[in-house]
Structures are given as C-alpha cells and as structure tokens.
Amino acid sequence: MPLAFGPTDRGILPDRMIAALTSSGGIITAVPLADDQIQPASLDLRLGEVAYRVRASFLPGPRASVAQRIDSLKLHEIALGDGAVLETGCVYIVPLLESLALPADLGAAANPKSSTGRLDVFTRVIADAARSFDRIDPGYHGPLYLEISPRTFPVLVREGSRLAQMRFHRGRDLVIGDDLTALHAQERLVDEEGADLVDGVAVGVDLAGFGPDALVGYRAKHHTGLIDVDRRARYEVGEYWEPLRANRSRTLILDPDEFYILASKQAVQVPPDYAAEMVPFDPLVGEFRVHYAGFFDPGFGVDEAGGGGSRAVLEVRSHEVPFIIEHGQTVGRLVYERMLAQPDQLYGEGIGSNYQAQGLKLSKHFRP
C-alpha cells in the first residue's frame, strides 16, 4: 500500500516510512536493500557495477538524460566488481543500485555520508533532467547517479560501496524564528549561553584544543596510499594526517587547497522528532568551504541515544587565498527540520553509528 498523508503533513520521512516507500515501489533496487541501509532519517545509496571517468562535471539540464551526457563525455569505463581505484583529481560518474519512482508529493535531497566527507571525497547525486545537484524533484521517476571526485586520497571502491545518503521529504517544515528559539529553550540544541539562532544554530570552530596535547585538528598529507572505503580501523593516522595543535593566539591559517579536519566549539544535539543539516553561515564568504557531509540524524548528541552532546566535525578546505580563522568563529549553521514522525531507532541507538558522542574524530577508516 502506498504511504498516506494528511493534507497538512510536512516533514522528513523516518526509517519506517522509507521502508514503506521501498515496499510500495517508490524506491527501486537492483539488489535488495541491506539490513542496515536505512538510517533514522535517510537511505544509504550504493554504487553500481561500473564507473565512467568523464572529462568534466555536468548537469544534464531539462532536455537530456545523464546516460546521454555520459556517452558524450566519458573517457574510460571501469568495472567496479570486487574493487577499483578512483584517482585524485578525476571525475567519475557511477550509476547507483537505487532508482526512484516517487509519488507527486515526495521529493528528496542527498548528501555525502560523514565518512565520505572526512576523506575529502567530493560526491553529488545527479538525476535525469536535473537543474541542480543533490536535489530530486517531487514525483521524479528515473535512475540515480553519483558524481565522485577524490580530492586528497585515492580511494578503493566496489559495487555496493556507500558514499552518499538520501533523505525523503513531503514539503519542507524548517524550524525558524520563534519556533527555533522555543525549541532551543526546551531542548538546549547547543551548549552555549546566548546562542546565535538567526537562520539556524550558529556553529563555531574550536581552536583551543582537545586533551593534554591541545589538538585542534588534522591537515591531510599529500601523496599517500589509497584508502579502501569499506574497511574500518585499517589505517595509521600518521601516514595520512598531520596533527595540528593550539597556539597562543588560538588561530589557524588555512592554506589554499589544503584539507583540514576540525571540530565545533559547541556540543550540539538533534532531538528525536527533528533532523538537521549543516549549511554555510554566509554564502558570500567564499574563502573556505566547511562540511561536505551535512546531514545530522534524529538523536545525534542526545543523552537517550548515548550522545551526551556531540561536537560537529568540520571538513574544511580553503580556496584561492590563505585565510585565517579564530577560535569560536562562526563557520556554519545547523538548520533544523521537523520529521513526519519520530524514527523507530535514533542515531547511535544500537545501529552501529560511528560518530555518536564524538569530539575531534577522523573517519572510521583510521585506527583510534
């Protein structure tokens, strides 16, 4: 049976509704879903059997399919099968194992998974006739593709690897203005007095340092070995990352085209009836980009799911010029949106979540 909604129902679909959408044919899978593929408020997307190296990134536009654009732009075809290496500085398009036949009142949005962003692997979902990346119009029927561009580390992927995730929504129900102020008063979304709640919860960067070594973050090394995206706790941190420590001025100069892992000054949480997304605090500030992987699931950081307040880990890349950031400087905003219903399982609540109760933490691929 298809999902049924009331005329005023708006918000993000929780896990059981994503399962129902799959059962009713709204999500079509070439291979049955894995048991852990549905998250509290999203669906992990899996790579298909082939990757196409293309000359450049693209959007198909309203009169073309992605397959047509691949045919005109592809340089090489790579069978993923049991594994293939995607090199840095290249752009690949991979058909996904999931496609969509959405009802007219449901749309979708995609984002890299947290572990993907922390490896500096740039990904975007593309749909046929799309005018933008990572956004799927209500009622879309068709295949899905993932653009992949490793920026720092070459990565080993295979059919079934999960680099991106997708949320499904009926309309939008953002929590803004007085509603956000009231939610913060009730739930304490961020552990900071006088929190800035304009256009979302302001998130600053921590440059005071963690632990006895005053660690503030990591800068990625160049010319490293590859990383198998499906292997956990396999790689030594020192072979891939340079640790960064606090200085007296509690500042950090971001060098052009370097990649950094930092952490938020504030501990944040996402109540069970809400989901959140990290967005740039000001699109006019173009000197750096923060947070490639922006989805925060219901239960992130909450006590009942084992969080106790969790830092937001920030994936940061500077652009054309060196740029100095200071301790506490606002680098992003956490925008909250209501769920259509509370999920059956919260983030971190016995579902193998990797980053609950996190401080400054690299991706799951590195040994603690």
Give the model confidence (pLDDT) of 36-48 as tens digits. 999 999 999 999 9
Which residue is associated with the tokens 């298909």?
48
**CA dist., res. 63 & res. 128, Å (int):** 9
**CA dist., res. 272 & res. 87, Å (int):** 39
One-letter amino acid for residue 113 of the chain: K
Question: pLDDT, tens digit, for every residue of 45-93?
Answer: 999 999 999 999 999 988 899 999 999 999 999 999 989 999 999 999 9
Which candidate, 265, 286, 273, 281, places its Cα nearest to that of 341? Answer: 273
pLDDT at position 310: 84
**CA dist., res. 361 & res. 117, Å (int):** 12
Question: pLDDT, tens digit, for every residue of 97-119?
Answer: 999 999 999 999 999 999 999 99
Q: What is the arithmetic mean of pLDDT over 236-263?
A: 95
Supply the mean pLDDT for the chain: 91
**CA dist., res. 264 & res. 311, Å (int):** 6
| Three-class HEC string of the chain | CCCCCCCCCCEECCHHHHHHHHHCCCEEECCCCCCCCECCCCEEEEECCEEEEECCCCCCCCCCCHHHHHHHHEEEEEECCCCEEECCCCEEEEEEEEEEECCCCCEEEEEECHHHHCCCEEEEEEECCCCCCCEECCCCEEEEEEEEEECCCCEEECCCCEEEEEEEEECCCECCHHHHHHHHHHHCCECCCCCCCCCCEEEEECCCCECCCCEEEEEECCCCCCEECCCCCCECHHHCEEEEECCCCCEEEECECCEEEEEEEEEECCCCCEEEEEECCCCCCCCEEECCCCEECCCCCCHHHCCCCEEEEEEEEECCCCEEEECCCEEEEEEEEEECCCCCCCCCCCCCCCCCCCCCCCCCCECC
Which candidate, 291, 272, 288, places its Cα nearest to that of 336? Answer: 272
Which residues, including other chains, have CB under 8 Å from residue 23's CB and lie 6 or more apart?
none
Confirm if 281 and 332 have CB atoms less than 8 A apart.
Answer: yes
Of residues 288 and 12, more confidently modeled:
12
Which residue is associated with the tokens 């397959």?
67
Q: Which residues pair with 125 in a beta bridge?
A: 146
**CA dist., res. 232 & res. 315, Å (int):** 19
| Beta-strand relationship, 155-157 and 227-228 | parallel
Which residue is associated with the tokens 């991979």?
94
Question: pLDDT, tens digit, for every residue of 15-36?
Answer: 999 999 999 999 999 999 999 9
Which residue is associated with the tokens 């929780």?
14
| Beta-strand relationship, 27-29 and 43-46 | unpaired
Q: Is the pLDDT of residue 284 over 90?
A: no
Question: pLDDT, tens digit, for every residue of 128-155?
Answer: 999 999 999 999 999 999 999 999 999 9
Q: What is the arithmetic mean of pLDDT over 277-299?
A: 76
Q: Is the pLDDT of residue 10 over 90?
A: yes
